[in-house]
Structure 1
Amino acid sequence: MDQLCSALLAPANATADSKDPTTLQYGCGVATVAQVNKVSGDLAALEPKINAAAAQATSAQAALAGGNNQTAVLRAEVNALRAAIAALTAKSRDQIAALNAQVQELKANATNGTDPAIAQQIAALAAADTRTAQKLALLDAADQTAAQGVAALNSTLAATKSAQEANAAAISLANATVESVKSSVTAGAAAVTLVNASLTALASTVANVSAIDFSVYAKTADLANLNAVTLGGIPAAQYLRLRRLSVQAHRARAGACFPVDICG
C-alpha cells in the first residue's frame, strides 16, 4: 500500500485503526485528491491571466491594424508630396533652362557689353538662376528626408508586427500547455477515483473474511483424535470398518462392486 501511495505521489497516511483488517483505512487517496484539487485551483488562477494576455494581444492587434491604416494614409501623403516635389523640380529646371537661354540671347544680341541696362538685366537673370538652383537643392534634400522617413516607418511597422506575432504564438503555446495540464489532472483524478474504489472493495473483502466463524469447522486436533470418538457407543474407527464391510457385502449381493476402495 505504501508503494501504491508513493506511485500516486502522496504519502500513506494510515489512520489509528488501519491495522484492524475489518476497518482498513488508508489516506493516500484523500491526499492525492487534495493535490489534484490544488493543481486545479492553480489552473483556475492561471486562466484569468491567460485571458488577460489574450485580450491584450487582441487589443495590440487592433492597434496594429489602426497603425497600418495610419501608415497607409501617411505613405499616400508622402508619395503625393514627393510627386509635387518632382513636378516642382521639373518646372524649376525648365525655368532655369529658359533663363539661361535668355541670358545667352542677351549676350549674343548685346552690341555694347558696357551698356548698364543690359549688364543689370544679365546680373538679375544670373541671380534668379542661382536662387532657383538653391531652391532645387532644397527640394532634393526634402525629397531624400521624406524617403528616409518612409523607410524608418516601414521598419518600425515590420518590427511591431513581428513582436505581435511572437506574442500571439506565446499565448497560443500557454493555452496549449494549460489544456495539457488540465487533461493530466483529469486523468489523475480518474486514477485516484479508481484507486479509492479498489481500496473500498479491498476493505469490504477483508471485512467479509474477518466475519467468517471458523470455529464451526473441524480442526486438525479433532481429526487426530478421531479414534477416541464414539458413534452410537462404538469407537469411531471400529464403526467405520464395520460400515465398510457392510456396504461391501451389500454391493456383492447386488452383483455390483463399485467403487474400488469399497470392493477391495
Structure 2
Amino acid sequence: MPALFRAFLILLLPLLAGCSSLYFPPPPQVPLLTQKGEWSAGLHTNFSQNTAVQGAYAVSDHLGVMASASFLHADKKQSFFGNKNNRQTEDHDFVEAGLGYFTRLRQDRRVLEIYGGVGIGATKYTEYSRETNLPTERREGTLHKYFLQANYTSKEKKSFHVLGRDWPFNYGTAMRASYVQITDFRLNGVARAPEYNIFFEPITYTRIEVLGPLQLQLISGSNFGLIPRKYVKAANSVFQLGIVVNVGGQKGGK
C-alpha cells in the first residue's frame, strides 16, 4: 500500500505543477564525485516540460564544481486548477553554478557532497483569453538565487532481474535550501515591488545502470516555500526523469 500511495503522489505532481508560480526549480544536481578528474553530465525533464542540462567536474580529490541550465517554453491550456476557458504560456530560462566538497564515508561505501552556489534567469507568464486570443494577464521578471545543498548516497549497488538480465541500481537523497528573489518584476507592464521566498527541496533519487556509465535517474521530491507569497511560491514539481553519465570515478562504481 505505501508503494501504491507513493506512485499516486508521483502521478499527481504534474497537476500540482499547474498552480501559477514564476519559479520553476531545476532538479538538484547529484554528481556523486569521488576523485580528481571525474566528471558527471546529465539531462532531465518532466511532465511540465521543465528541462535541465547539468555538468560537474572534480578539480581535486575533494573539491568539485557544477553548473546547470534549465529552460521551459510551454503553450497550453491552464491546468486542472485553472480557468479552462483560457490558455497560458510559460517562458523560463535559468542558469546556476556551484562549488563544493565531496568525500567518501563508512569504509568507502558512502558518498557525501555539500555544495553552495548562485543562479540567475528570466521568467515570464502570460494568460490569454480563448475568445479573443489577447493577453489578459502578463507577469515577468528576473530571478536571482542562492542555494546550499547536501547529497548523500550509497556506493554499493543492488540489482533486480527483468528482461533476462540484471539491472544494478543505487539510491540516495539530497536536500537543498534556496533563497530566490524576483527583480525587475512587472505585472501587465506595471512595475511591482520585488518578491522573494525561501525554498526547502528534499528529494530522493534512484539510478539504474543501463549500459556502462550510462544510468537512468528518477528524482522524486517536494518543494516547500517557507514564506507565503503570491508569485514566487512552491507550486511547481521537483519530479524529474533523466539520464546521467559518470566517467573517471574510483573503482567500484556508485
TM-score bracket, normalised by the shorter chain, equals under 0.3
Structure with bigger strand share is 2
The alignment's TM-score, normalised by the length of structure 2, stands at: 0.14
Larger radius of gyration: 1
